[in-house]
Amino acid sequence: MVRLESGVIRRLFRGRAIPGWLLVLWAITIEILDWWGRIELVKEKLGKVSPDLIQPFLSFVLSPAGRLSIIILGFALILLASFGSKNSTSQVGRLDAERLPEPEPASRPHAERTADREFVRITPDDLMNMCRNHMDIEAQRLIRPYIGKWMEVAGRIHNVRSSSENSAQVTFDRPIGPEIRDFYMYFRDPKWIDRLVVLRRGAELVVAGRITEISAICVTLDDCEIMS
């Protein structure tokens, strides 16, 4: 409920709602001047500098009836902007929900997938060993060339977690032992997240991802994609 209310409030102060707020602000300003007895001074000043053709219009917008009309028009524009934005967001949400996962063609060549990325032939355990077997200053020098590169990993799914509709974390089954050795794969594209939803624990998966973090206990891949 709080999230919904905050979204409505944000829409009330964005984009198409701004003209409505300007009209309301104008009417309130004229109302304040009227309370202070300055409205006649405003009419006199505007009458000296404005052409005769718009004198009737100025008289109307400065009158009580005109100010009320402007306030009503302003709030109408604000409400229309709010509901219009809400409806467009709902339509986009429905389209996303109805979109089916698009399986990657089996005949798509591996070279095409990797043409714009630099893949490294190394395992997550190799990267973690660089940190385990060297002093920190030397380990940082060794792992630096791998940050931002891409790698493929394969394994059996241990778990899939999701904190939002645009993020999912996958972990593989790892050997049980005294040392902590994990690697985390983060998916951002809804196409891949839709496919993860239907997979079962223990299913075999091949993933390609961009290396973003390396330490002695874990490797993190981001922008991941399902290869098979």
Cα 204 to Cα 88, 183, 185, 186, 199, distances in angstroms? 39, 16, 14, 17, 9
Please give the chain's pLDDT, 228 residues, in tens: 444 444 545 555 555 667 766 777 767 776 666 665 566 666 666 666 656 655 666 666 667 776 677 778 767 777 777 666 555 545 545 544 444 444 444 333 333 345 578 999 999 999 999 999 999 999 999 999 999 999 999 999 999 998 888 899 999 988 776 677 888 999 999 999 999 999 999 999 999 999 999 999 999 999 999 998
pLDDT at 142: 95
Question: What number does CATH give the domain 110-226?
Answer: 2.40.50.140
Start-end of H helices in 114-163: 124-132, 136-143
Q: Are 152 and 117 in contact (CB under 8 A)?
A: no
The CA distance from 181 to 194, in Å, is 28
Domain positions in the chain are 2-98, 110-226
Put simply, whether the predicted model's pTM sits higher than 0.95 gets the answer: no
What crossing angle do the helices spanning 124-132 and 136-143 adopt, rounded to 10°? 150
Q: Are 213 and 146 in contact (CB under 8 A)?
A: no
pLDDT, tens only, 186-202: 999 999 999 999 999 99
pLDDT, tens only, 18-52: 776 677 776 777 666 666 556 666 666 666 665 66
**Tokens describing residue 54:** 């718009």
